[in-house]
Homo-oligomer: A and B are copies of this chain.
Amino acid sequence: MVQTLFNDQKACKKLRHILKTFQEKKYHLKHLIQNKNRLKNFSIKTDGFFYDFSKQRVNGELLKELFQLSRETQTRKKFSQMVSGKNVNTTENRAALHTAARDLIHDNMVIDDLDILSELNQVNNSINSFTQKVHQKDITGSGGKPFTDAVIIGIGGSYLGCEFVYNTIKHSMEPKIDLYFLANVDIDNFGHIIKKIDPETTLWIVISKSYTTTETMANLNQVLLFLNNNNINPAKHIVTVTSKGSPGDDSSNKALDSFHMFDFIGGRYSVTSAVGGLPISLAFGFDIFKRFLKGCHQMDLHAQNEIEEKNIPLIAALISIWNSNFLEYPACAIIPYCSALSKLTPHVQQLYMESLGKSVTCDGQILDNQTGVIIFGEPGTNAQHSFFQLAHQGSPFPVEFIGIIKPAYNNEQAKSKGVSNHQELWANMIAQAKALAVGKDDQNNAKYFTGNRPSSTIVLNDLSPESIGMLLAFYEAKTVFEGFILGINPFDQFGVELGKILASDVRDQIEKKNNDEAYDFSSIDPSSKFYLETLFKGSL
């Protein structure tokens, strides 16, 4: 059966009808939020997670139609199929089982003769045991010194989620092992990191499912040379996180240890697998990682079990679609009023844009609607002093604010203007959402604010591992829900392939020149030829 295109969904037709009424003045946010029950009716609280969509451009009638859209597209059913291990990644004929990675209490899930949970638990047990030995100094560097630092060699999904979780927890907890991230193939990324670490006390964690990722292998080769030049035995300093049977899982590699990752968890959804598990456990202990998983699991259960009307990530997905496909906003800014969450946006940027930056349905029909939008952002209040001028007086885009009730720092603090810094932070977050919504009339057009600019606000109790887990799993669930509603596959990424193929062509040209100084790039297009000549010349 041919999949119904998004724009042909019955609910979409009704939504387009409602859209017309939303041009009327009475639907300006400054009026909508006047209703004294607005917040109560347009917010949801679950244990430790609050989601306020009262300042989105929605009303009751519209929400009903959005919920209808979710039902028409069988979104919750698809989510359940995902959780139970069905082949929801249809183009790659795979399950998408990131939720299983945190399902610590579930007792049975066999897919293709593989006992998923037992496999995942086994990996977690190895991580627990390995990190304990490192922390207890039973495993040390080749010279006998304990490990103090670890460098993750991995790119994209093999580091962004982990970097977010590590950086956030680091604000409230001293790491046992400091982490660095060697992602970019840029040699200056390598050069910068080796200035900061002592090779004798550094563990290198190579993360690549296939163990063939170009950037990761190139960086691994730099590291092997570096270790060799420093008389360090790599077999005592390198561990791998990779697929069973990949070149990195080969015992002849002489890695200290290997931890498995699986086809049924995609890179951008993998921070709760060994990809995040090993680094986070090394940094803070396996117990902290487990608490993080617990938070994820709590949100997973919420996403799976709550009906449309009470389902936070599903409502967030529906509003995102309303904003992108009907109100036609091209982007969404994530603005955590929390420095510790500064790496959340780069992670969600990948998670969301790589999952939803598609133009075809799951069954290969070309879509005529908007899919994913641009995600960007910086922490508040910094963002207020940066691009918020445009948010208030330029082309509008929705904003997702995030507030944390209890900051990590709790020593003695000064007050300014009668309030603590944390209170000042919240005063600003509250004020920005309001300013965007209500705007301000002014005789002077330069000081006139149109308002009617939508935002959501998420509130978490604290920066505990559980809270961070909920936040991560919220964005994962929101993303897959949005994919299911749009009818696209949020798990593949064919759009990255063309660049790889063309890079390989260019690399071949460079290799030829490396091997033969007289080679003149004559078989490549003039533009590429110019760039390669410039690179080899060494200056403009």
The residue of chain B having its C-beta at the shortest distance from the C-beta of A354 within the complex is B389
User: Of the 9-residue stretches A5-13, A14-22, A374-382, which lies at the interface with chain B?
Assistant: A374-382
Q: Check: A50 CB closer than 8 A to any chain B CB.
A: yes
Digitize A422-448: 1 where CB-to-B-CB distance is under 8 Å, 0 elsewhere. 111111111110110001100011111
Whether A435 and B498, one on each chain, are in contact in the complex, defined by CB atoms closer than 8 angstroms, is yes
Digitize A484-507: 1 where CB-to-B-CB distance is under 8 Å, 0 elsewhere. 000001001111111111111111
As for how many copies of this chain the complex holds, the number is: 2
Whether A510 and B423, one on each chain, are in contact in the complex, defined by CB atoms closer than 8 angstroms, is yes
The residue of chain B having its C-beta at the shortest distance from the C-beta of A367 within the complex is B445
Whether B388 and A496, one on each chain, are in contact in the complex, defined by CB atoms closer than 8 angstroms, is yes
Central interface residue in A55, A450, A526, by most chain B CB within 10 Å: A526
Q: Check: A449 CB closer than 8 A to any chain B CB.
A: yes
A290 to chain B, nearest CB (A): 22
The residue of chain B having its C-beta at the shortest distance from the C-beta of A433 within the complex is B527
Q: Which of A201-251 contact B (CB under 8 A)?
A: 214-215, 217-219, 221-222, 224-225, 229
Whether A514 and B418, one on each chain, are in contact in the complex, defined by CB atoms closer than 8 angstroms, is yes
Digitize A339-368: 1 where CB-to-B-CB distance is under 8 Å, 0 elsewhere. 110000010011001101111100011100
Whether B421 and A219, one on each chain, are in contact in the complex, defined by CB atoms closer than 8 angstroms, is yes
**Complex: A184 Cα to B407 Cα, angstroms:** 13
**Complex: A380 Cα to B183 Cα, angstroms:** 10
Q: 8 pairs across A/B with beta carbons < 8 Å? A: A171-B191, A183-B385, A188-B339, A225-B414, A364-B445, A426-B510, A427-B506, A427-B507
Q: What are the 10 closest A-B residue pairs judged by CB atoms, nearest first?
A: A357-B390, A156-B385, A191-B409, A357-B394, A418-B511, A431-B502, A330-B330, A393-B495, A353-B387, A376-B376
Given A515-B418, A535-B426, A409:B187 Cβ within 8 A: yes
Q: Check: A60 CB closer than 8 A to any chain B CB.
A: no
Given A409-B188, A461-B540, A424:B218 Cβ within 8 A: yes
Whether B391 and A434, one on each chain, are in contact in the complex, defined by CB atoms closer than 8 angstroms, is no
**Complex: A9 Cα to B416 Cα, angstroms:** 50
Known: A183-B385, A186-B422, A188-B408; 5 extra A-B contacts, CB below 8 A, are A391-B495, A405-B540, A418-B510, A428-B506, A449-B495
Kindly list chain B residues whose C-beta atoms are within 8 Å of the C-beta of A93.
Answer: none
Kindly list chain B residues whose C-beta atoms are within 8 Å of the C-beta of A305.
Answer: none
The residue of chain B having its C-beta at the shortest distance from the C-beta of A90 within the complex is B446
Kindly list chain B residues whose C-beta atoms are within 8 Å of the C-beta of A330.
Answer: 330-331, 374, 395
The residue of chain B having its C-beta at the shortest distance from the C-beta of A328 within the complex is B330
Q: Check: A59 CB closer than 8 A to any chain B CB.
A: no
Kindly list chain B residues whose C-beta atoms are within 8 Å of the C-beta of A376.
Answer: 349, 374, 376
Central interface residue in A187, A395, A504, by most chain B CB within 10 Å: A187
Digitize A149-160: 1 where CB-to-B-CB distance is under 8 Å, 0 elsewhere. 000000111001
Whether B506 and A461, one on each chain, are in contact in the complex, defined by CB atoms closer than 8 angstroms, is no
Whether A505 and B431, one on each chain, are in contact in the complex, defined by CB atoms closer than 8 angstroms, is yes
Q: Check: A318 CB closer than 8 A to any chain B CB.
A: no
Whether B391 and A357, one on each chain, are in contact in the complex, defined by CB atoms closer than 8 angstroms, is yes
Residue from the list B356, B407, B430, B461 in contact with A187, Cβ < 8 A: B407
Residue from the list B214, B340, B392 in contact with A499, Cβ < 8 A: B392
Q: Check: A27 CB closer than 8 A to any chain B CB.
A: no
The residue of chain B having its C-beta at the shortest distance from the C-beta of A364 within the complex is B445
Central interface residue in A189, A224, A375, A497, by most chain B CB within 10 Å: A189
Digitize A56-96: 1 where CB-to-B-CB distance is under 8 Å, 0 elsewhere. 00000000000000000000000000000000000100000
User: Of the 9-residue stretches A31-39, A99-107, A119-127, which lies at the interface with chain B?
Assistant: A31-39
Q: Check: A137 CB closer than 8 A to any chain B CB.
A: no
Whether A492 and B446, one on each chain, are in contact in the complex, defined by CB atoms closer than 8 angstroms, is yes
Kindly list chain B residues whose C-beta atoms are within 8 Å of the C-beta of A112.
Answer: none
Kindly list chain B residues whose C-beta atoms are within 8 Å of the C-beta of A424.
Answer: 185, 214-215, 218, 503, 507
The residue of chain B having its C-beta at the shortest distance from the C-beta of A374 within the complex is B331
Whether B459 and A384, one on each chain, are in contact in the complex, defined by CB atoms closer than 8 angstroms, is no
Q: Check: A370 CB closer than 8 A to any chain B CB.
A: yes
Whether A366 and B531, one on each chain, are in contact in the complex, defined by CB atoms closer than 8 angstroms, is no
**Complex: A421 Cα to B188 Cα, angstroms:** 9
Whether B221 and A415, one on each chain, are in contact in the complex, defined by CB atoms closer than 8 angstroms, is yes
Central interface residue in A215, A224, A514, by most chain B CB within 10 Å: A215
**Complex: A364 Cα to B446 Cα, angstroms:** 6
Q: Check: A397 CB closer than 8 A to any chain B CB.
A: yes
